[in-house]
Amino acid sequence: MINSLQNRRVQIDILRVPLLGRFLVWKHSRTAAQIILFALAAAIIIDGLLGSQLAPKNVATVAAWVHYRGLVAFALLIAGNLFCASCPFMLPRKLAKWIGRPTRRWPKLLRNKWLALIGFVGIIYSYELFDLWASPWLTAWLTIAYFATAFVLEAFFTRDSFCLYVCPLGTFNFLYSTISPLKISARNLNTCRDCKGHECINGSATQQGCQLELFVPTMKSTLDCTLCLDCVKACPYDNVALAVRPPGDELFRQSWPNRLDLALLAIFSAFLATLNAFGMTPPVYDLEARLATLLFTSHESIVLGLIYIVGAILWPLALTYSAAWLSKTLVASPLSLNRLVMRYAYGFVPLGFAIWSAHYLFHLLTGFMTIIPAFQTFFAQTLGWALLGEPNWELARHFVPTVDAIQITQTTIIYVGLLMALALTLHSARKTHRDRGKALLEALPWLILVFLIIFTSGAIFLLPMEMRGSALGG
C-alpha cells in the first residue's frame, strides 16, 4: 500500500515552528490541556448541581451552550480538532483502561458512524425538548452521563472505541475537521517504506501508537483523527508532520472511503444545523401548536419527535435520494443511487459547517462576556470563595456587537459555505464527466438542493432569535 503512494511535500509543518512545535511534542502537552478542560467540566458539574439555576448566571449553561460550541467551530476553522486533542473525558478513561484492562474489540457490526449519528440527533432533540440551554442541573447531568458512558466503554473495549464509534461531540469534530487547515502527514514516505516497526500505529515501548487505528503514511483524511499527536511521539524517525493544507483540500480530493454512514452523516448534519437554528425562532412554536392540535396531543416529546424525525431524517433522505435519482436519470449514469449520494455528500460539509458556525457564533457574540460574571458567581456563591470578586453583570453587556454586525457576519459565513459547497458539487460532477454540459446536468439537482438548504437557513437567520444563555436574554 505505501509503495503505491506518491510523496507529497510538506510545505509548512507546525511542529517545526519554534516554541509552539516543542510545546506540542512535549510529553505532557496533551495532559496539560486535558487538565484545564477537566477542571472546566468539573466546574460545569458542580455549579450545575449546586449553583444558581438561572442559566446566564451558571457556568454549566454559559460554558456548555454559549462558549464551548462557538469556540469549537472557531478552532475547527482556524486549526483543527483541538477539542478532541484536549478532551477532558480522556483523564478518567485512562483510569478505566487501567481498571478494566480491556481485551475485547468493538463489535464489527457497530464499526461505523450510525450509533454516533443517532446520539448526535438525540442530543440536539433533547436540547430542544428539555430546554437544556436553560437548565444548569440537566446540563450537569448530561456531562456526568457523558463521563460515565466514556468510562464504561473504555473499561470494556480496546483502542479508542468510544471516540471512533460512539461520541457525538467527537463525530461533529471529526466531520468538520475535514475542512480544517491542519492534518497529520508523513514527512517522507521513503522513510515509512523502510520502517519495520510502524510505531506510529503499533506504539513503542514508551509511547502508545494511534488508538484510532490510523496509519500515518496512508492517511488521506482527518476523519477520526483526534490530533492527539501520539503518532508524532511514537515515530522513531521523527517522520510525522502537522502539515498546513488548503481548507477543504481532502473534500476536493474526495478522500473518504465509500461509506454510506459517512455520506449520510455529512448530509443529516447539514439539515440538522438548519433545524437546530429553526428551533430558536418564533415560527417553531406556531408549528408545534398546529401539530399538537392535528395529533390531538399535548406532549411536546411527540410533537418535537415528529419534527425531528421528519426534518432531520425523512426529509433529508427524500431530498437526497430524489436528487440522486434525477442525476442518474438525466445523464443515464451507471452509478447506483448510494454511490451518487456518497459522491455528492462532500458539498454538504462546508454547507453544514457554515450553518452551525453562523448559529453558534450568534450565541458566542451575544453572550461572550457572560462567562466572567458566571464564574464570579460560581466562586463567590456556589463555592463561597470570592476569588474573582463579586459578580459584575455590567460586564456581560460589554462588547456585544449590534444586530446588523451579527447578521452581516452570519451572512458572510453562509455565503462562503455556499460558494464552497457549489464548487465541491461541480467538482464532484467533473470527476465523472469530462463533458461540461453532462457534468452540469448531473450536478443540477444537487445544486438546487444546496441552494434550497442555504436559503432556508439564511431566511431563518433573519428571523428574531432567542438569546439563549446570555445575560441579555434574561
The residue ranges that bind ligand SF4 (CB under 6 A) are: 184, 186, 191-192, 195, 198-200, 210, 212, 214, 216-217, 225-231, 235, 237, 239-240
Residues 6+ apart with CB under 8 A from 23: 29
Q: All 3 cell numbers of residue 271?
A: 439539515
Tell the smallest beta-carbon distance from residue 173 to ligand SF4 (Å). Answer: 12
Tell the smallest beta-carbon distance from residue 25 to ligand SF4 (Å). Answer: 12
Tell the smallest beta-carbon distance from residue 118 to ligand SF4 (Å). Answer: 23
Which residue, 256 or 375, is less far from ligand SF4 as judged by CB?
Answer: 256
Which amino acid is it at 22?
Answer: R
Which residue, 238 or 300, is less far from ligand SF4 as judged by CB?
Answer: 238
Per the CB < 8 A criterion, the answer to whether 281 and 460 are in contact is yes
Per the CB < 8 A criterion, the answer to whether 188 and 205 are in contact is no
CA–CA separation, 257 and 346 (whole Å): 12
Which residue, 191 or 381, is less far from ligand SF4 as judged by CB?
Answer: 191
Tell the smallest beta-carbon distance from residue 412 to ligand SF4 (Å). Answer: 31
Which residue, 173 or 276, is less far from ligand SF4 as judged by CB?
Answer: 173
Which residue, 28 or 436, is less far from ligand SF4 as judged by CB?
Answer: 28
9 CB burial (10 A radius; 0-12, 13-18, 19+):
exposed
Which residue, 197 or 247, is less far from ligand SF4 as judged by CB?
Answer: 197
Tell the smallest beta-carbon distance from residue 103 to ligand SF4 (Å). Answer: 21
Which residue, 186 or 331, is less far from ligand SF4 as judged by CB?
Answer: 186
Tell the smallest beta-carbon distance from residue 424 to ligand SF4 (Å). Answer: 24
Which residue, 237 or 252, is less far from ligand SF4 as judged by CB?
Answer: 237
DSSP notation for 237-252:
T--EEEEE--TTHHHH
Tell the smallest beta-carbon distance from residue 209 to ligand SF4 (Å). Answer: 7
DSSP notation for 383-400:
SS--TT-S--TTGGGTTP
Q: All 3 cell numbers of residue 219?
A: 492517511
Residues 6+ apart with CB under 8 A from 393: 373, 471
Backbone phi, psi, residue 244, to 5°: -90, 135
334 CB burial (10 A radius; 0-12, 13-18, 19+):
exposed
Tell the smallest beta-carbon distance from residue 82 to ligand SF4 (Å). Answer: 12
DSSP notation for 52-80:
--SGGG-HHHIIIIIIIHHHHHHHHHHTS
Structural element, H or E, at residue 145: helix 136-156
